[in-house]
Structure 1
Amino acid sequence: MKEKFTTTVSVKGKGESKARAFSDALSHVQGAMLKSSGQVLLRIEPQDVQVVHARETVRKEAFLFFFLRRERRTFSVELEVTVNVTAINPDKVDFVTQ
């Protein structure tokens, strides 16, 4: 009934800082696991994180094309996260009909 397995999930994230980009990407791990398996997840433990892509985008802005010039930076990352998963497989549970 209860199973443990290891899998790798690919996730992406964006943010205004490097930490926010990583945080956003790691927050998508659970959603990616739910989409890939039809099991009830009890625990997801990240074991390893590999950075596939890390990008910084700089965009220049100005108010009315001349005033208050500034640069806006956006960071994006793509990660491969290896996770240990503890799950319950509902197909292996015998339900009694009444």
Structure 2
Amino acid sequence: MQRRFESSVTVSGRGDSKAQACADALSGVQRAVTAAGHQVLLRIEPLRVTVVAAEEVRRRERFLFFFLPRDRLSYAVTLEVEVSVTVLDIEAVPFTVRQA
């Protein structure tokens, strides 16, 4: 009923800081693993994290197009995450039929 397998997923995230962009990407690992099958997830354990792409975007903003210029930074990251997944195979659970 309980089985374990390894999988590799690619996730990406954006944020105003480097840590926020990485956290946003890593929060998508569960959604990516869940989309792969119809099992109940018991545990997701990351084994390896590889950075595929990371970029910093600088944008200059001005108040009323002329005054008070400031630089705004935003970050985007794409990660390749190898995970070990433990699932409960719900199809293997023997359900008994009972009349109500």
Q: Smaller-chain TM-score range?
A: over 0.9
Alpha-carbon offset, residue 26 of structure 1: 0.4
Q: Secondary structure at the match of 1:14?
A: strand
Give runs of ≥4 in structure 1 deviating > 2 Å: none
Query: Secondary structure at the residue paired with 1:70?
Result: strand
Residue 76 of structure 1 corresponds to: 76
Q: Which residue of 1 aligns with 2:2?
A: 2
Q: Residues of 2 paired with 1:12 and 1:81: CA distance?
A: 10
Matching residue's letter, 2:80: E
TM-score by length of 2: 0.95
- How far, CA to CA, are the matches of 1:79 and 1:38 in structure 2? 24
Q: Which residue of 2 aligns with 1:58?
A: 58
1:90 and 2:90 correspond = yes
Q: Between the two proteins, what is the percent identity of the paired residues? A: 50
Structure 1, unaligned stretches of length 5 or more? none
CA distance in 1, matches of 2:58, 2:17: 12
TM-score, L = length of structure 1? 0.96
* Per-residue deviation, 1:67: 1.0
User: Is the counterpart of residue 40 in structure 1 residue 40 in structure 2?
Assistant: yes
Measured after TM superposition, the shift of residue 87 of structure 1 is 0.5
CA distance in 2, matches of 1:65, 1:95: 67
Structure 2 regions of 5+ residues with no counterpart?
none
